[in-house]
């Protein structure tokens, strides 16, 4: 299985913002590309990471586990921490981290 590492970074930003549109703005990309990348990641992993609705997105249990593992990676935090939205406070805080099981 070969997963593009940018997908991990994009997933982390989407999970933080809880919005494909806001994540696209942060990543200076467009929403259809972000959505496509997340669908590709879900296909590669063989599970759904997001509950999608007209009110926004939430993480599935699998998405929560994936987020916890990804947020424990220092590169993911460093890569996203420098974005202007976190500095401006436009994205809500992520769910509290728990130890990986």
User: Tell me: domain 5-82, CATH 1.20.120.1080, correct?
Assistant: no
Q: Domain locations in the chain?
A: 5-82
Q: What is the Cα–Cα distance from 70 to 28, expressed in whole angstroms? A: 21
Query: What does the DSSP assignment read for 18-47?
Result: T-HHHHHHHTTS-HHHHHHHHHHHHHHHTS
Q: Are 52 and 58 in contact (CB under 8 A)?
A: no
The residues pairing with 58 across neighbouring beta strands, listed in sequence order, are: 51
List the chain pLDDT tens, one digit each, 101 residues. 566 788 988 999 999 999 999 999 999 999 999 999 999 999 999 999 999 998 889 999 999 999 988 665 554 555 555 554 444 555 544 444 333 22
How crowded is residue 36: how many other Cβ atoms within 10 Å of its Cβ? 11
pTM of the model: 0.70
């Amino acid at each position: 299985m070969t997963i593009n590492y940018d997908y991990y970074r994009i997933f982390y930003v989407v999970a933080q913002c809880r919005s494909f549109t806001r994540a696209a703005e942060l990543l200076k990309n467009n929403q259809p590309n972000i959505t496509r990348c997340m669908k590709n990641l879900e296909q590669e992993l063989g599970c759904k990471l997001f509950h999608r609705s007209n009110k926004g997105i939430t993480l599935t249990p699998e998405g929560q586990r994936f987020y916890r593992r990804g947020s424990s990676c220092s590169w993911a935090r460093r890569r996203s921490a420098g974005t202007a939205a976190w500095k401006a406070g436009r994205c809500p805080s992520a769910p509290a981290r728990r130890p990986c099981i």
